[in-house]
Amino acid sequence: MTVQIVLLTLFTFAAGMVGTISGFGISTIMIPVMSLYYPLPGVLLFVAIIHFFGDIWKIIFFKKGADWKLIAAFGIPGILMSYAGASITLAVSPMLLKRLLGTFLVLYVITLFVKHNWKVPRTNGTAAAGGAMSGFFSGVFGIGGAVRSAFLSAYDLPKEMFIFTGGVIAFFIDIARITRYISGGMTLQNELIRVLLILIPASLAGAYTARKTVDFIPQNLFRLIIAVFLGLAGIGFLIWP
């Protein structure tokens, strides 16, 4: 058990650092690892709570301005679809949805590299679609940040604003899905509650490390780094759904 906790603490720290910079990664890394040891329903709730605190760290560490219209355009559809997605978690095939998500991300990244200047149209409709897809995937199997980052990256936000904006949107989406998970009967074992008290500080340490690291990433390389993370996530979802 001690070895498991040490491994989970290291994974949480790494996921918190990568997830803070890229806008996704905590769920992508932690859900597969946690599901090796615990039942999936409890894992979804557990990781959602860790992710929620990760949102708070982003908001605290990267508050340097925000586009609240963009946040609303993403967030409102995201909240609604997150709740809806969480409601059907046990009624659909997560494997099929993850492969669809992986296909979308890989095609998106290929397009970015083939057509360097191509971007998702910056419209309210695009933002609403991105928020809805992100919320839905977050609710169904806890992984939606990659979609959110794919759409947000089209707006060429300064890196601090990109991270902060993603954090605010995810904050409200996570509230919606955690509420639905709990109202639907998901609970945490006492053992997981104790582990949670260790991993929340680990996620804080990861986010703080990311805060110090992101200062050294040139703005013109930031979107490329996001694209690389998106591509790796997409390939992962296709090969290991």
E strands of the chain, at which residues? none
C-beta neighbour count of 52 within 10 angstroms: 19
The dihedral through the CA atoms of 232, 233, 237, 238 has a sign that is: negative
Cβ within 8 Å of residue 191, ≥6 positions away: none
Cβ pair 229, 25 in contact under 8 A: yes
H-run or E-run covering 239: helix 219-239
Euclidean distance between the first and the last CA atom of the chain, given in angstroms as a whole number:
27
The pTM assigned to this predicted structure is 0.77
CA-based torsion, 28, 147, 216, 235: positive or negative: positive
- Look up tokens 């979804």; give the residue: 44
In 3D space, the residue among 108, 78, 219, 82 whose CA is nearest the CA of residue 160 turns out to be 219
Count of domains for the chain: 1
Q: CA 5 to CA 95: how far, in whole Å?
A: 27
Predicted local confidence at residue 94, as pLDDT: 62
Phi, psi of 24 (to 5 degrees): -155, 165
Q: How far is CA 162 from its chain centroid?
A: 13
Rounded distance between C-alpha atoms, residue 126 and residue 122, angstroms:
6
- DSSP letters, 164-227, are HHHHHHHHHHHHHHHHHHHHTT----HHHHHHHHHHHHHHHHHHHHHHHHHTTS-HHHHHHHHH
pLDDT tens, N- to C-terminus, the chain (241 residues): 577 788 888 888 988 888 788 776 677 777 766 766 777 678 888 888 999 999 999 999 988 777 788 889 888 998 898 888 877 765 656 676 667 667 776 776 776 676 655 566 777 788 888 888 888 878 776 677 777 877 887 787 888 888 898 889 889 988 988 988 888 888 888 888 888 889 999 999 999 998 888 878 776 676 677 677 767 777 877 776 5
Q: d(Cα 91, Cα 67) in Å, to the nearest integer?
A: 36
Residue 90 lies in domain: 2-239
